[in-house]
Amino acid sequence: MTDPPGETRRNSSAAAEQQEQPGEQASLRGFIERIAKVERLVRVEESTHWRFDIGRITRDSKEPLLFENIADYPGQRVFTNGLRDIRLIGLALGMEQEASREELIAEVRRRASNPFNPKFVETGPVLGNTVEGSHLNLMALPIPHWNENDCARYLGTWHLNVTKDPETDARNVGVYRMQLLGPNQASVNTSPESHLALHLEKSEREGRALSMAVAIGVGEAIIMAATAACPYGMDEYELAGGLQQRAVELLRCPGVNLEVPANAEIVIEGFIHPHIRVQDGPYFDYTGTTNTNRGAFLFEATRLMFRNDPIFRGTSIGVAGAEDHQIFALLAELQLLDFHRSSVKKHIQDSVLKQRLLRWTRAGT
């Protein structure tokens, strides 16, 4: 990877590298390897631009894509479309490729009702490189400008937002989109009913910032769990452990009281400013139209950590069957889809889902 400008501390790390093996099976890298083994990985070797190319190629394709030659970012990679169909979802969860959709859903249902406690580890590959303070520049990451209809580059499209309830310390892990606003700032777009919004509300009552960690390039089971409707206070890492049939290995962040997957590709520590709202969007969303949130939160990054040669994970949505639709459809069948009490969203998602389910029936997959 080209180093982010400023001082990147490389943690001399036979130790960190050796740690790559144990959890690798459940990591994004392990998943990409499995996709390559079943000969579905499309390596995009020709030069692609982070501005529009990566997003357009992602939306036009139904295959998992590893972009290996990104303009302005020599040596860096972006992965998209990992969960673009039900077989890939099965592969992400380590299931038989021959399983039918019904068998797969039944197995996911069984796993979802048997959560695993996460396991703490002392070190992990994401601790390999650290940039902090005034040296931090998020634009050193190959963050795509996914769609011509988006107002800017989006840092968070397929990632985790980790926060804690300031009163009870209960953790929440969710997926809330994040627009890049500057070298160390991004918006956080949440519905008012989201658990992250509840955490911020509590810390704002005390006039305090809310610590947040963003993990990019994590095992896909954790993304599925983070998007599922878990009751307030339930730990999404436990659900993820159930889905992947192995405890999620967690690292305590060095600078904030939060835990992130040890095998994440990239982790950003920081905080949400209290009582500040910014505009997020226009963003081309899952409905196939743009939306704007003028009341989004303002995240400030304080530390960037990444594995050697990190793989940036994101996605481009807004087309039927995009990978977010695949997750929504799966969660809907498991009754784990949440609309945060928005009847409009429920209506839109129901119709989107209905189309997808009809298509699956026709395709017989």
Ligand X SMILES: Cc1cc2nc3c(=O)[nH]c(=O)nc-3n(C[C@H](O)[C@H](O)[C@H](O)COP(=O)(O)O)c2cc1C
Q: Is 327 in the site for ligand X (CB under 6 A)?
A: yes
Which of the residues 47 through 66 are near ligand X (CB under 6 A)?
none
- Of these, 229, 276, 320, 363, which contacts ligand X (CB under 6 A)? 229
Alpha helices in the chain (DSSP H): 14-18, 28-37, 53-60, 86-92, 101-112, 195-205, 220-227, 236-244, 323-333, 343-363
Q: Is 297 in the site for ligand X (CB under 6 A)?
A: no
Does residue 316 bind ligand X (CB under 6 A)?
no
Site size for ligand X, by CB under 6 A?
19
CB of 193 to ligand X, least distance (A): 7
Q: How many separate helices (H) and strands (E) can be counted in the chain?
A: 10, 17
Is there binding between residue 307 and ligand X (CB under 6 A)?
Answer: no
Q: Are 183 and 133 in contact (CB under 8 A)?
A: no
Judged by CB under 6 A, the residue of 11, 61, 123, 191 near ligand X is 191
What residues are paired with 277 via a beta bridge? 297
Stretch binding ligand X (CB under 6 A), from 5-13, 43-51, 223-231, 240-248? 223-231
Of 111, 5, 73, 72, the residue nearest 311 (C-alpha): 73
Residue number, 85 or 324, with CB nearest to ligand X: 324
Closest alpha carbon to 213 in 138, 273, 269, 156: 269
Q: How far, in Å, CA of 242 to CA of 223, rounded?
A: 13
Burial (CB < 10 A; 0-12, 13-18, 19+), residue 171, is: buried
Smaller CB separation from ligand X, 95 or 234: 234
Question: By CB under 6 A, is residue 129 in contact with ligand X?
Answer: no
The answer to the question of residue 216 lying near ligand X (CB under 6 A) is no
Chain contacts with ligand X (rule: CB under 6 A): 157-158, 172, 174-177, 189-191, 194-196, 227-229, 324, 327, 338
